[in-house]
Amino acid sequence: MQYNIKVPPIFATMMRELLITADGSHTLQLPDAEITYHSRFGAIQESEHVYIGAGLQPFVGNTDPIRVFEVGFGTGLNAFLAYLEAREAKVKVEYEAVEAFPLQKEEYKQLNYAHVLRKRELAESFQMMHQAPWNRNIKIGQLFSLTKHETKLESFSTDKKFHVVFFDAFAPSAQPELWTDEIMQQMFDLLLPNGILTTYCSKGEVRRSLERAGFLIEKLPGPRGKREMMRAHKYQDAE
């Protein structure tokens, strides 16, 4: 299935295409560049492994609310999984995300995450995440709040601090401007002491940028189809 929708400026010549990944869940692809929003080996399995398992769950039971900052709201999958975790673990999650190039209604209406996760009764909650107004905090259920910022990461600023950063930008080869020393320092400064940044990317130059910002790096087994991923720690005495 292919939509006749042009992606905004940074990928202006490309068209987003809906794909089924190995676990049955959707991703979107920019065909001209062979760039996908999630792993072809399974969109849900990747997000659950990298962002929920390695990022959100370490804080469950230790802090409430858990403050999450996501780089790249994209399909909304990471936010939806965090919402499900909040419900299941009965913990409050305050979720904020930046997105410079939001999906259009014709795209996000097709995404099948609630169906694949056997949470069809929560499909409306997923749609609410995409339909929510930008730059405004909304509550989805009793335990989850969402604020989406329609802006580039480089232009984003806030006085808030977060427990965890989901760094889910496109790969460095596609968006090198989001993997610089300056951006990693921005992420370090966003985190609370003992906060963590988690990302699917394990490239050496990204690790070195994180280390220069002050993070201590932990290599973890990657999701299916990827040998490694990274979790970066901002320890109490790191500032």
Predicted structure pTM score: 0.92
So what's the pLDDT on residue 237? 66
152: in domain: yes
* Angle at CA of residue 144, ends 69 and 196, nearest 5°: 30
Instruction: For residue 188, tell me if it sits in a domain.
Output: yes
The residue type found at 127 is Q
**Residue 25 is assigned to a structural domain of this protein:** no
Place of tokens 């080869």: 173
Q: How many domains does the chain have?
A: 1
- Determine the residue type at 212: R
Tokens found for residue 196: 């963590």
Length, in residues, of the chain: 239
* Section 4-28 average pLDDT: 71
Candidate from 13-17, 39-43, 98-102 with smallest mean pLDDT:
13-17
Q: Does residue 86 form part of some domain?
A: yes
Pairing, β 191-199 against β 228-234: antiparallel
pLDDT tens-place string over residues 218-238? 999 999 999 999 999 999 765
Q: Yes or no: say if 36 and 20 are a contact pair by the CB < 8 Å rule.
A: no
Of 207, 200, 205, which Cα lies nearest the Cα of 222?
A: 200
* Whether pLDDT at 6 is above 60: no
Q: Is the pLDDT of residue 13 over 50?
A: no
Answer whether residue 30 is part of any domain: no
When pLDDT is cut at 50, 70 and 90, the band that residue 9 belongs to is: very low
Tens of pLDDT, residue by residue over 186-219, are: 999 999 999 999 999 999 999 999 999 999 999 9
Residue 168 to residue 145: CA distance in whole angstroms: 20
* The pLDDT of residue 35 is above 70: yes
pLDDT for res 15: 65
Instruction: Please enumerate in sequence order all residues whose Cβ is within 8 A of that of 53, keeping only pairs 6 or more positions apart, or say none.
Output: none
Residue 214 lies in a domain: yes
Unique residue bearing structure tokens 């780089």: 71
How do strand 191-199 and strand 2-6 relate by DSSP bridges?
unpaired
Q: What is the pLDDT of residues 153-175, one digit of tens each?
A: 999 999 999 999 999 999 998 89
DSSP calls for the chain: -EEEEE--GGGTT-EEEEEE-TTS-EEEEEGGGTEESS-TT-HHHHHIIIIIIIIIGGGTTT-SSEEEEEE--TTSHHHHHHHHHHHHHT--EEEEEE-SSPPPHHHHTT--HHHHTT-GGGHHHHHHHHHSPTTSEEEETTTEEEEEE-S-GGG---S--EEEEEE-PPPTTT-GGGSSHHHHHHHHHHEEEEEEEEES---HHHHHHHHHHTPEEEEEEPSTT-SEEEEEEE-TT--
**Per-residue pLDDT tens digits for 82-130:** 999 999 999 999 999 999 999 999 999 999 999 999 999 999 999 999 9
In a domain, 32, yes or no: no
For residues 57-78, average pLDDT: 95
Give 62's pLDDT tier (boundaries 50, 70, 90). Answer: confident
CATH number at residue 200: 3.40.50.150
Note down the domain range covering 88: 44-234
pLDDT of residue 30: 85
For residue 7, is it within any domain?
no
